[in-house]
Amino acid sequence: IFFIKYKNAAGLIKKFPFRYMFLVFIFSLTLTNFGVSHQYRHTPTLVFNICQSAIYAYCIWFLLKKYPHQTLTSLLKISLWFGLLISLYVLYETVTKTNPLLRFLVESGYYIQSAFITEIRFGFKRAQAIFSMHTTLGGVMLFVYALLLVAYKTKFIHQNRRNVLIIFLCALSVFLTGARSCIIAVFVSSLMWLSHIKGKQIFILCMMLPVLSLFAGDYLQQIIDSISNTETVNGSNSDMRLTQLLISWSYLMHSPIWGNGIGFLYNDVVLMNLDPDLYGAESLWFGVMADQGCVGIVAYALLFISPMIYSWKRNNKSAAFFVLATFIMFSLSSIPGVNPAMIPIFTIIINMMMDKSKEAKILKV
C-alpha cells in the first residue's frame, strides 16, 4: 500500500544510507530459509521478517526525507503521549501489584502465550504494562527514552517541566521492570546528554545525587550488586548464560554457514523443551547463531556497527551511545517483540535532530 501511494518511493533507494546493510540482512534471511530442509523452511516468516525490518525502516526513512517536519513532529508528539501513558500505567501496576488490562487481554484471547509476572525484584513487582514480558517493556521504553532525551537536548521538544517529567518516567519504567540488561542500557544511553554538558547542569546533577542516594540508595545498591554478582537475584546468572551459550553453539555446529532455520531455536527447541537448560535463550546472539549461522551473525553485527559508523561520520559521536546501549541490552537478554532492525532508523532520527540542532533549525512540539 505504501509503495502504491508513494509511487516514487522506490526511486530513492540509492540514497538510503543503510541500503547495503539491509541487503546483507535480507540475503542472510533468504540464504537461511532456502538453505535448510523443507521441515525447517518457512517462507511466510521470511517475508514477514523482511517487511518488518528492511522495508519498514525504508518507509520511515522515506517519510523523514519527504516530509521531515511533519513526520518528526508527529513522531515526537506520539512518543510523548505514549511514554506518559505507559509510564503512568507502570506506576499503577507497581503500586497495586495488579495488571487488569493485561489480564483482560490474555483472558479474552487477544494475547497468546502471555503471562502475568508476579516476581518481586529490587523490592518491587516487575512491571510489564501492556506487554507480554517485562523485558519487552524495558526495550520499548529504552527507545522512547533515548528519542525524547535527544529531542529535549536539541530543543525539538520544549524544555519544560512536563517534558522533563515524562522523560524521567520513561527511565523509571525501565528501572521498575527489574531487567538488568535494560537498566544498564538506560545508563549508557543517558551518556548522550553528557557530550556538551554545561557547568550549571553539572551543579544540578551533583545536587541531585545526595537526594537520590537518600531515597533510592538501597534500591540502587541492589541493582549494582545484582550486576556484579548475578547470584544475588532470581533469574539467569553467569553460569546459566554460559550453559545457554554452549547449547546454542552446539546447534550452530550442526549448520555453521546458514544455520538451522528462521526461528529454529525458539520454536523447535525452547517451546518443545528439548534443552531445558536453554530456558528462553536469553541473548539475541544465541538465537542468531543457532537460527542463521555465520551469515546471520555478520548480518546482525552490521545492525550495530553500521549505525555507529553513520553517527561517527556525521560528527554526532554521542549518538553512538544509543547504539551501544541497545547492543548491551540485546546481548544480555532476550527482548521479545522489540526488533533490533529498528536501531538504524532510530539512529537516523537521532542524527537528524542533532544535525538540525547544529543548523539552528529547531522544530517545536
Query: C-alpha cell of 122?
Result: 529490587
Q: pLDDT averaged over consecutive 10-residue blocks of the chain (365 residues)? A: 86 91 95 88 91 93 93 96 96 92 85 73 81 92 96 92 94 91 90 67 55 47 50 59 84 88 80 70 87 94 95 91 93 90 95 86 51
pLDDT at 259: 87
What pLDDT, on the 0 to 100 scale, is given for residue 88? 97
pLDDT in the model for residue 217:
46
**Residue 249's pLDDT is what?**
87
Distance CA 156, CA 206 (A): 26
- How high is the pLDDT of residue 198? 55
Q: How far apart are CA 136 and CA 92, in angstroms?
A: 18
Which residue reads 553528557 in cell numbers? Answer: 194
CA Rg, the chain, in Å? Answer: 21
Contacts of 325 (CB under 8 A, 6+ apart): 142, 146, 184, 185, 186, 188, 189
Residues 49, 340 contacting (CB under 8 angstroms): no
CB atoms within 10 A of CB 84: 17
Phi and psi for 120 in degrees, rounded to 5? Answer: -100, 130
The one-letter amino acid at 150 = V
**How many Cβ atoms sit within 10 Å of the Cβ of residue 28?**
25
